[in-house]
Amino acid sequence: MQTISENRSFGGVQGVYSHASEACGCEMTFAVYMPPQARQMPVPVLWYLSGLTCTHENAMTKAGLQEHAALHGLAVVFPDTSPRGEGVANDEAYDLGQGAGFYVNATRTPWRPHYRMYDYVVSELRALVLDAFDVEDRHGITGHSMGGHGALTIAMQNPDLYDSLSAFAPIANPTQSDWGRKQLSAYLGDDEAAWGIHDSVLLMGEKGWKGDVLVDQGASDQFLDLLKPETLSEAMARRRQPGVFRMQEGYDHSYFFVNSFAGDHVAWHAERLI
Amino acid sequence: MQTISENRSFGGVQGVYSHASEACGCEMTFAVYMPPQARQMPVPVLWYLSGLTCTHENAMTKAGLQEHAALHGLAVVFPDTSPRGEGVANDEAYDLGQGAGFYVNATRTPWRPHYRMYDYVVSELRALVLDAFDVEDRHGITGHSMGGHGALTIAMQNPDLYDSLSAFAPIANPTQSDWGRKQLSAYLGDDEAAWGIHDSVLLMGEKGWKGDVLVDQGASDQFLDLLKPETLSEAMARRRQPGVFRMQEGYDHSYFFVNSFAGDHVAWHAERLI
């Protein structure tokens, strides 16, 4: 693991690192915020998964998570959203290929060799973070848009690995959305039976989440047609899933929305992890 | 004035606007954060002046001021750092010309026609903000690096126009620094007598500030040689200037530093303006 940068932030350290990823078969960059409490004792980990077009950097600089992570004593991990590099397949569209890994393990050409963001987040990067940082093996997960989709689907598939869950404006029902059908078809093939474990609405119907879940959605989000929040809200209520679904008046899909509720989400995770 | 964007942020509105500037002779872009309290009554204004290479956008997205401005009920104005555009003189260096206005009124060719950031901030944009937004005619001023220099020098020159003052890692003594001598010479000519009103250490010696002032400086700032914080600290103490000069262990010159102390600065201004 190489250190790309480390900056003092709210008494802790905001670092950016890279490593040769086995899961993705390329060099991967990620960021970790370590709060000041970590100098005394290991702290729990909050995973923040980012949306389409993002790298580790967008949320690290714009979401304002550090202030709240320092207050509560949580580490925050910001993975990249896809494999990267010249030898890695890509597409001209912003929503397929690099920057759009969708948190799945691709099984189809040309994506299969590198696009394994599910394994990367759930296993490889988790092991690296546990090894290289003073953290507890206790994890929460959240994310925005495609990253909200990632957080919900990864947590529901792996209840033993995560103990708190939230999402900002998730792509709720990708098997029924243009943000989803295109990518799941490309990465997993046209047999939709393989898609279901990557759809939070379907997972909510089948298994739900072991704890309670917080979802925030901006009512003025410019991508409501693609995110389909009503499908998740309905699925949560139908299952009697403990949790909170908040429709936030006036907020759009930007980081100004994420930033505005970052404090609530970090507090939510801290209350369940510490 | 044209609206470029408006995003809901912490219950208020983060807007970006442009207008034809008379002072700068070009179209100028700026950002304003209006807190939720402004829907009930006019709120005081905090001016945030940015550093070299920045536009209105850097601090708007990275400094994390909105959360605290919403808590306390302050508007925040983020001006650009120079005139812009094809007809505006520029230089290949990052620290001269566009992105490096230094908050002075240039008197020398080729800068004189457009580089009037002092008048722009002190008069023109102030009048526009007072006219177009629900704000009180009550102002605080702060800034980072070149913008910290701007905040300190503008406030000390205009004590009637501002009622609170702070700075993040200001260029403290530009008449004695490579961040200053080059620019003051280009914009104002080689007669150093014209430079003094744009040097906070010299102004601190001559007049000081009518109130108390808060200055934060990272002890691990990579530009300490250019910022010369010890000259300002010394000048403040020599004058018996009420205020606080804080040397923050481990912090560098980045927005991670600004973000970490944004809450303290907004609270400082709110206590003096509200």
- Report phi then psi at B52, rounded to 5: -50, 135
> Given A8, A64, A218, which is nearest B67 (Cβ)?
A64
Whole-prediction pTM:
0.92
Measure B31 CA to nearest chain A CA, in Å: 14
Q: Which residues of chain A have pLDDT under 70?
A: none
Dihedral angle of Cα B94, B98, B100, B102, to the nearest 10 degrees: 160
Does the distance separating the beta carbons of B250 and A8 come in below 8 Å?
Answer: yes
Size of interface A-B (CB pairs under 8 A): 66
pLDDT (0 to 100) of residue B195: 98
Does the distance separating the beta carbons of A8 and B260 come in below 8 Å?
Answer: yes
Measure A9 CA to nearest chain B CA, in Å: 5
> Letter for the amino acid at A134?
D
Measure A34 CA to nearest chain B CA, in Å: 13
Q: Does A263 touch chain B (CB under 8 A)?
A: yes
Q: Does B257 touch chain A (CB under 8 A)?
A: yes
Does the distance separating the beta carbons of A8 and B220 come in below 8 Å?
Answer: yes
Which chain B residues are closer than 8 Å to A263 by Cβ? Answer: 67
> Chain B residue with minimal CA distance to A8?
B251
Give the structural domain span for A61.
2-273
Task: Give the tens place of pLDDT for each residue, A56-65.
Answer: 999 999 999 9
Does the distance separating the beta carbons of B10 and A259 come in below 8 Å?
Answer: yes
Q: What string of DSSP letters covers A169-238?
A: S----GGGSTTTHHHHHHHH-S-GGGTGGG-HHHHHHHT--SS-EEEEEETT-TTHHHH-HHHHHHHHHH
Does the distance separating the beta carbons of B62 and A61 come in below 8 Å?
Answer: yes
The CATH number of the domain holding residue B18 is 3.40.50.1820
Q: Per the structure, how many domains does chain B have?
A: 1
| C-beta atoms surrounding B57 within 10 Å | 14
Task: Give the tens place of pLDDT for each residue, A162-215.
Answer: 999 999 999 999 999 999 999 999 999 999 999 999 999 999 999 999 999 999
Does the distance separating the beta carbons of A8 and B259 come in below 8 Å?
Answer: no
Q: Enumerate the active-site residues of A.
A: 145, 221, 253
Range 86-145 of A in CB contact (< 8 A) with B: none
Q: State the Cα–Cα distance between residues B220 and A7, nearest whole angstrom.
A: 10
Question: Would you place residue B148 in the very low, low, confident or very high pLDDT band (cuts 50, 70, 90)?
Answer: very high
Strands A75-79 and A26-34, bridge-based pairing: antiparallel
CA angle A102, A104, A110 (to 5 degrees): 90
Which chain A residues are closer than 8 Å to B263 by Cβ? Answer: 67
Task: Give the tens place of pLDDT for each residue, B90-141.
Answer: 999 999 999 999 999 999 999 999 999 999 999 999 999 999 999 999 999 9
Task: Give the tens place of pLDDT for each residue, B200-215.
Answer: 999 999 999 999 999 9
pLDDT (0 to 100) of residue B14: 98
